Amino acid sequence: VYAESLRGLDPSSALTDQQIWTAIENSGGAKGVLLLPEQPFEMLVKEAILKLHNPCLQCLTLVQKELCSMVDISTQENLAGNFPELAMHIQRFSKEFMEGGYAGAQEF
């Protein structure tokens, strides 16, 4: 999911050369600029990064589901027979821990 989106990312697809040139010129004020100023560069990069937001959330969801599945399988195979209550607590704690990280990552 994420790799396909990264390969398909064209940061300048929504921008024309004229828009990029205007951003550079506007950042220099009345005097000309020789190098690419930091502010327009950051603006252009932030737009490219925003294009990856949804694929990143999809990747986050897939990783969380896979980790929960791994915890379930591991506790069922190794603990559930002899220590069912311990297995239940480990599963519950692990899922709560991952959900907390999931919520924090979505906000970021």
User: Tell me: the pLDDT tens digits for 27-72?
Assistant: 666 565 556 567 777 777 787 788 788 888 888 899 999 999 999 9
Query: At residue 89, does pLDDT exceed 90?
Result: yes
Nearest Cα to Cα of residue 64 among 24, 95, 85, 27 = 95
Residue 73 has pLDDT above 90, yes or no: yes
Across all residues in the chain, what is the average pLDDT? 80
pLDDT at residue 102, rounded to an integer: 81
Is the model's pLDDT at 83 over the cut of 80?
A: yes
Give the whole-angstrom CA distance, residue 107 versus residue 62: 17
